[in-house]
Amino acid sequence: MKDNETYQVFLDIWHDVMLYLFIGSVAISALIFLIYIFRYLAAGSAKAKYDLANEREIKTLLITNYILAFAIFCLVNQTYVEMVSLGITWKLTRIFIGIFIATLHAYVAFLVFKYYYPGKLEKRLKKLRFTPRINPSTGNKMKLLSEDEEDSYLDEGMQAEENAFSVDYDVWIDEATGETKIEKYKGHLHALECDRCGFQTLKLEKEEVLVQPTDTTDGEILKEYKCSYCGRIKRKTTNLTSNVDRERDPSKSSTDPFKTGKKVESIVMEIHTADGDNKVFEFQGIEQAKGFLAEFTVEKLRH
């Protein structure tokens, strides 16, 4: 039968092509995965590892699995050779089974790496972020400064950025030498736990300044988060302070008589009593003046 011969030749070519495509796609998938692992291991610092994992890891794992899904399709299309040689219907059936299994693999991979894996990744990212840094010039372990401590090491632009947008600066200090290392973390790359579905899939979508701050009034910023799993949209407005020091410096609270936005170098105080005594005092700074006021009695004026 002529037709059957043609079909057999076609099947042989088909099986060869499927074999090569299978080998090729497994190789490409493995290569992409290995390149990622290599880059991760070769990344010099914990911060470099953090950035790579944060930006690339999930994408890499998804792509490798999609390619593997294609490899599975090719693998299925080389099986049951004898049965398929009986007729075209078997061949078509095999193609559909191949598509079905490959789609299933891709879909499961999608679910795992989109919704389950980010929570695990987040834990590793936290570890990387808070691993004590080593000062390369001394080999000393550095210490991470707290939010309050770090302000004096950040310039005004950085502080404003931290206040307004979802950016975090970490300041590491070598306590022996005073050397510092500043690392920047961007909030929008970073997923939060969704308060509705519980997955680590809530991401910052946009930030918009609603009211610009002035020297005397606070502004307002709107942050919009979206969950890629359940679709929850969360909007949050927060204050945007123009003077970045205002809310952090305790000496500027409203009960403080020296409330000021400026650095004070000296204070001159002139005290007049009801019986006509007066005296001038000079202080080197706010703390000194406060200490004086706390202990002040009118009797002291007479000496």
Q: Is 120 a residue that touches Zn ion (CB under 5 A)?
A: no
Q: Which is nearer to Zn ion, 106 or 227 (CB)?
A: 227
CA atoms within 13 Å, Cβ hemisphere of 275: 4
Q: Which is nearer to Zn ion, 142 or 194 (CB)?
A: 194
Q: Which is nearer to Zn ion, 193 or 245 (CB)?
A: 193
Closest alpha carbon to 171 in 192, 145, 194, 147: 145
Stretch that binds Zn ion, among 3-11, 85-93, 132-140, 194-202 (CB under 5 A): 194-202
Stretch that binds Zn ion, among 187-195, 213-221, 268-276, 281-289 (CB under 5 A): 187-195
Stretch that binds Zn ion, among 96-104, 124-132, 161-169, 197-205 (CB under 5 A): 197-205
Closest alpha carbon to 94 in 13, 5, 1, 15: 15
Q: Which is nearer to Zn ion, 90 or 229 (CB)?
A: 229
Q: Of residues 196, 206, 236, 248, which one binds Zn ion by CB under 5 A? A: 196
Q: Is 197 a residue that touches Zn ion (CB under 5 A)?
A: yes
Q: Is 229 a residue that touches Zn ion (CB under 5 A)?
A: yes
Q: Which is nearer to Zn ion, 43 or 197 (CB)?
A: 197
Stretch that binds Zn ion, among 149-157, 168-176, 220-228, 279-287 (CB under 5 A): 220-228
What kind and span of H or E run contains 139? none
Q: Is 40 a residue that touches Zn ion (CB under 5 A)?
A: no
Q: Of residues 186, 232, 234, 252, which one binds Zn ion by CB under 5 A? A: 232
* Maximum distance among all Cα pairs of the chain, rounded to whole angstroms: 131
* End-to-end CA, the chain: 128
Stretch that binds Zn ion, among 39-47, 167-175, 179-187, 223-231 (CB under 5 A): 223-231
Q: How far is the CB of 106 from Zn ion (least distance, A)?
A: 22
Q: Quick check: 295 and 289 in contact, CB under 8 A?
A: no
* Site residue total, Zn ion (CB under 5 A): 7
Q: Quick check: 148 and 193 in contact, CB under 8 A?
A: no
Q: Is 121 a residue that touches Zn ion (CB under 5 A)?
A: no
Q: Of residues 63, 194, 221, 244, which one binds Zn ion by CB under 5 A? A: 194
The shares of helix, strand and coil residues in the chain, as percent rounded to the nearest 5, are: 50, 20, 30
Q: Is 204 a residue that touches Zn ion (CB under 5 A)?
A: no
CA angle 67, 43, 200 (to 5 degrees): 60
Q: Which is nearer to Zn ion, 232 or 290 (CB)?
A: 232
- Give the sheet arrangement for strand 233-240, strand by strand: 202-211, 219-227, 233-240
Q: Is 230 a residue that touches Zn ion (CB under 5 A)?
A: yes
Closest alpha carbon to 72 in 110, 22, 36: 22
Beta strand pairing call for 202-211 and 219-227: antiparallel
What kind and span of H or E run contains 243? none
Residues making contact with Zn ion (CB under 5 A): 194, 196-197, 227, 229-230, 232
